[in-house]
Structure 1
Amino acid sequence: MERSYMKSLLAVLVLVLAVQSCIVSQAFSFSNLTDQSALLAFKTAVKYDPNNVLGNWTTRTNFCNWAGVSCSRHRQRVTALQLPSMGLGGTISPHIGNLSFLMKLDLGNNSFHGFLIQNLTRLLRLVDLSLYDNLLEGEIPTSIQQCQKLQGMHLSNNRLVGRIPDELNTLPLLRVLYLGGNNLTGTLPPSFGNLSNFERFYIDHNNVYGNIPNEIGHLKKLKAIDFDETISPGRFHQQF
């Protein structure tokens, strides 16, 4: 009786483990499909690819082997999308926001137009955002504050307008911020003095005016700051 009971219990355990394994497998498959769909949506929004960079972006191959795509080894989730200086043109699909494991997005020095990615709330692992030297317009989305691991934001030489969001001061790890060569307006937020890891800040060739807040001058790690003549250093030089 005892031997029969143990066999039955063992059979139940094997069945439970098999079901759990199947559920996990299906979850990973669904997650991977989400990443693949997001990348294909990105490709669809690219209307100009003179060098056929995205030529191997097809469902016949694993998306982790697609040009410019890097994945985590175990989970096979997209961790980086790097396609700088590829001559690409079009818009940046909002589905990029579905790449929830993305750490690095570099689409710099291309011809992307339209608005910045609004759906940033799911990019909680994003460390580096590089969209410099494009034709992007609109305002810097305040949802960027959701990217709490962001260390570098490179948005220079676009057509961005509006103010520099105060919300950037809530990014505790932000080290470099390149905003030069846009059409930004307003004044520099004093709240930037909260960015204790701030090292480099470029705001030249914009329509920003006023004084450099004294709070920025107290940042101990700040190594470089570039601004227009419309911005007065005030007491900044005495503190820097």
Structure 2
Amino acid sequence: MGKLHSFLLLLFSLQCCSIASFAWSETNIISDKYELLALKTFVTSDPYNILANWSVSFSPCKWVGVTCDIHTERVNSLNLSDMGLTSILSPRLGNLSFLSELDLSNNNFHGQTPNEFVQLRIIPVEIRRLEHLKILQLGANKLSGIVPQRISNLSSHEILNLSNNTLSGSIPYLVGYLPQLKKLYLERNLLVGSVPSLFNSSMLQHIATGTNQLSGSLPTNECFGLPKLETFLVEENYLSGKMPSIWHQCKELTKISLSDNRFNRGYIPSDIGNLTNLRLLHLSKTTWKV
């Protein structure tokens, strides 16, 4: 009788845990659904009727542009690029704690970049799961305001694309402390200040900050700590001072563009000749000597 009682108690406990687990998962996917529906309410133009099936009648995992993780059954990717949408960015996207990819590029999103985006991170303490936003692509929209200073919270970030907007202010120096960052695209904005030190981002492959209003000088040892750098594009700014001379440390460089700046008069560094992978070198409208 004692064994039967113990077995029934164990069976009851397992059933309760299963029901609780299902309820927890269902509650949270429903939470994801309503955070996405909040984004839809901000959309003022959807010319291709992309968001037609974004409704409470369907699971968000079946919505256009939405992908869910097969294990957690939570939204982990939102890709609405090139869909002609007009909207402001809903700050409630920051509540999608399982999101690892967000691509809203080539639309008409406008307004300021919400500070809530820095909540798309790493570690929901309550459920002890590591969740990382790796890709943030908001290029070719009409975003204004500044790049959030708390962007360093996205410590697993690999791609940051905010190009072709009207962002102002300076580039947060903490961008240089994103250890997994591979691609940084900030070109064609209204950014001012200096190019931050990126020596701590040893994974960086692409830097593009051209066509802004950046000033100051570049570090003379720009390639130090960037062994994987392939493209370095800072053209059409107000950069001055001495041109970096130690380029051989960037052995993987294929593209360099320093044109349309205000660097000091001088000779083109001979180190550039040691870059065997170099395919593009732009120094036009400068005062270099050969």
In the alignment of these two chains, the number of paired residues is: 236
Cα distance, 1:83–1:233 mapped onto 2, change above 3 Å: farther
| 1:140 paired residue number | 147
* 1:231 correspondence with 2:228: no
Please report how far the alpha carbon of residue 238 of structure 1 lies from its aligned counterpart in structure 2 after TM superposition.
3.0
| Among 196, 204, 217, the residue aligned to 1:198 | 204
8 Å Cα contact 1:69/1:78 also seen in 2: yes
| 1:222 paired residue number | 229
Please report how far the alpha carbon of residue 231 of structure 1 lies from its aligned counterpart in structure 2 after TM superposition.
1.6
* 1:55 correspondence with 2:63: no
Please report how far the alpha carbon of residue 223 of structure 1 lies from its aligned counterpart in structure 2 after TM superposition.
1.1
| Among 8, 12, 16, the residue aligned to 2:9 | 12
Cα distance, 1:237–1:84 mapped onto 2, change above 3 Å: farther
CA distance in 2, matches of 1:66, 1:233: 52
Amino acid of the structure 1 residue aligned with 2:77: A
Q: Tell me, what secondary structure is at the counterpart of 1:183?
A: coil
Amino acid of the structure 2 residue aligned with 1:206: N
Higher RCO, 1 vs 2 (CA within 8 Å, ≥6 residues apart): 1
Amino acid of the structure 2 residue aligned with 1:201: I
Q: Tell me, what secondary structure is at the counterpart of 1:160?
A: coil
8 Å Cα contact 1:185/1:209 also seen in 2: yes
| 1:119 paired residue number | 116
8 Å Cα contact 1:193/1:215 also seen in 2: no
| Per-residue Cα deviation, 1:178-228 (whole angstroms, up to 9, x for no partner) | 0000000001122x1111111111111100011112353212111111112
**Comparing 29-38 with 176-185, which one deviates more in the overlay?**
29-38
TM-score (norm 1): 0.94
Amino acid of the structure 2 residue aligned with 1:195: S
User: More helix by proportion, 1 or 2?
Assistant: 1
Q: Tell me, what secondary structure is at the counterpart of 1:209?
A: strand
CA distance in 2, matches of 1:120, 1:143: 9
| 1:95 paired residue number | 92
| Per-residue Cα deviation, 1:11-33 (whole angstroms, up to 9, x for no partner) | 11111111111211111111111
CA distance in 2, matches of 1:214, 1:37: 50
Q: Tell me, what secondary structure is at the counterpart of 1:96?
A: helix
CA distance in 2, matches of 1:44, 1:215: 49
Structure 2: which 5+ residue stretches go unaligned? Answer: 122-131, 251-290
Please report how far the alpha carbon of residue 96 of structure 1 lies from its aligned counterpart in structure 2 after TM superposition.
0.4
RMSD of the TM alignment (CA)? 1.3
8 Å Cα contact 1:35/1:99 also seen in 2: yes
Please report how far the alpha carbon of residue 235 of structure 1 lies from its aligned counterpart in structure 2 after TM superposition.
4.2
Query: Matches of residues 158-177 of structure 1 in structure 2 within 5 Å?
Result: 158-177=165-184
Amino acid of the structure 2 residue aligned with 1:67: V
| 1:40 paired residue number | 37
| Among 182, 206, 210, the residue aligned to 2:216 | 210
Cα distance, 1:35–1:215 mapped onto 2, change above 3 Å: farther
What percent identity do the matched residue pairs reach? 34
CA distance in 2, matches of 1:214, 1:71: 45
CA distance in 1, matches of 2:108, 2:231: 28
TM-score (norm 2): 0.78
| 2:27 paired residue number | 30
8 Å Cα contact 1:120/1:146 also seen in 2: no
